[in-house]
Amino acid sequence: MNHVVIMCGGSGSRFWPISRKVYPKQFLKTVGEKTMIQLTVDRISRFIPLENIYMVTNNSYVKTIREQVPQVFEENLIIEPQIKETAACIGYSAVKLLKKDPEAVMIVLPSDHYIENEERFIETLKQGIEIAGSDNCLVTMGIKPSRPETAYGYIETGKKIDRLLKVPTYKIKRFTEKPNREKAQEFIDKGTYLWNSGMFIWKAAVLLRQYKKFLPEMYQSLKRMSDHIGNPGESRIVEEEYDKIDGISIDYGILEKTWDVYVMESSFFWDDIGNWTALERYMDKDENGNSIKGGHKVLDSRNCILYGNKRLIAALGVEDLIIVETDDVVLVCKKDRDQDIKLLTKELLKDGETIKYV
């Protein structure tokens, strides 16, 4: 049976200061009248029944999830005792699913991506499920690049799968981390690279065999967790094993090491609105290219992002800045440094006086 696991435990630090640890970006109305997590559940529930939709998160966000997506079943909340990157949360979700359904096919989705052309999205999912089921492989959804984006990882495609498929599908040649702009343009010019969307499809049992091969210590922890699922001591065992687990992404831990992984060249519109320059694509602009939300007065300023809440933002003679005003924080940042906002939040966390603002 097909199941969806929606990952919603991230802190969204690159979207600080509107995204905070207590209320990160997946719970914000970034685009439109619904939050990102609400859009994600609405989209996938057109294809997967609610009883097969799971949310993996931590205790900090359970209350907000219940408020924003009350249609998700209470028993389908998978609670991590601590955040240990995507390999841990996906592996833990896999063993939970296998206890309910030994033939479980997992669709793994982030909670904060923006997608249009939903019919194509569902069509692509259906093909991925078919491939993952018939070939016992791992499948990821790639996106054809539309610009030299430096905020995403890339996938270089290898041999095309010689099969009648609506969505072109390839063996993966290599994964590449976030490039600089020049390298990103090279990828586009070459024509064999796709954006890594972070959306995956696989059989849960097939995935765990990859953990056993490439992450053997984590596999042993997952196996011990699995042995205690449904028992009175489950929470204690999960906490103990999470303490042992190294934080590593599913990409580094498994996908970059295995040969049993395919990528589909998806044609639906996709965007990871993960930082301020990404949000800029959805904001109103003035005649000087300033992207604006909230009260403002701008003079002789160009290509800025002005994001206000209650107070007026006044800008004079500035260019290429991000200026964000919230109730308790004002951020001023060069646009080309927006990827480093998470470094700023790390510094704030080190200071007892400023930790409350993160």
Same structural domain, 184 and 249: yes
Q: What's the pLDDT at 138?
A: 98
Which residues contact residue 163 at a Cβ distance below 8 angstroms, ignoring those fewer than 6 apart?
169
In this predicted structure, the answer to whether residue 306 has a pLDDT above a threshold of 90 is yes
The parent domain of residue 59 ranges over 2-274
CATH code of residue 39: 3.90.550.10
What percent of the chain has pLDDT above 90? Answer: 92
- 130 and 69 housed in the same domain: yes
Q: What is the pLDDT of residues 11-64, one digit of tens each?
A: 888 899 999 999 999 999 988 899 999 999 999 999 999 999 999 999 999 999
Residues 36, 113: contact at Cβ < 8 Å?
yes
Q: How far apart are CA 178 and CA 141, in angstroms?
A: 17
Query: Does residue 285 sit in the same domain as residue 347?
Result: yes
Q: Are residues 203 and 60 in the same domain?
A: yes
For residue 313, the model assigns a pLDDT of 96
Q: Do residues 80 and 212 both lie within one domain? A: yes
pLDDT of 100 over the 90 cut: yes
Pair (281, 205) in one structural domain: no
Is residue 248 domain-shared with residue 339, that is, in the same domain?
no
Of 274, 296, 311, which closes a domain?
274
pLDDT of residue 274: 85
Q: What does residue 159 show for φ and ψ, rounded to 5 degrees?
A: -65, 135
pLDDT of residue 9: 87
Q: What is the pLDDT of residue 162?
A: 85
Distances 284 to 14, 100, 220, 273, 305 between C-alpha atoms, Å = 21, 47, 51, 16, 10
Spatial distance between the Cα atoms of 310 and 7, rounded to a whole number of angstroms: 32
* Length reported for the chain: 358
The reported pLDDT for the residue numbered 280 is 94
Domain boundary among 274, 305, 332: 274
Looking at the structure, do residues 268 and 332 belong to the same domain, yes or no? no
202 backbone dihedrals φ, ψ, rounded to 5°: -170, 160
Choose the final residue of a domain: 257, 274, 291: 274
pLDDT value, residue 57: 96
Burial of 164 (0-12, 13-18, 19+ CB in 10 A): exposed
Global pTM reads: 0.94
pLDDT of residue 224: 97
Tell me which long-range contacts 45-49 makes (C-beta under 8 A, separation of at least 24). 45/71, 46/118, 46/122, 47/122, 47/125, 47/126, 48/2, 48/3, 48/4, 48/107
90: confidence class by pLDDT, cuts 50, 70, 90? very high
Would you state the pLDDT for residue 10?
83
Share of the chain above pLDDT 70, in %: 100
Q: What is the pLDDT of residue 210?
A: 98
Check whether residue 268 and residue 281 sit in a common domain.
no
Q: Give the pLDDT mean for 207-218.
A: 98
**DSSP code string of 167-232:** S-EEEEEEEE----HHHHHHHHHHT-EEEEEEEEEEEHHHHHHHHHHH-HHHHHHHHHHHHHTTST
Residue 163: pLDDT over 90: no
**Amino acid 11: pLDDT:** 81
Q: Is 298:319 a contact under the CB 8 Å cutoff?
A: no
Query: Of all residues in the chain, what percent are helix, strand and coil, respectively (each to 5)?
Result: 40, 25, 35
pLDDT at residue number 182:
95
Residue type, 89: C
| 132 and 218 housed in the same domain | yes
The overall average pLDDT reported for the chain is 95
Q: What is the pLDDT of residues 234-260, one digit of tens each?
A: 999 999 999 999 999 999 999 999 999
User: In terms of domains, do 184 and 281 share one?
Assistant: no
Count of domains forming the chain? 2
Co-location of 316 and 296 in the same domain: yes
Side-chain-side CA neighbours of 79 within 13 Å: the count stands at 14
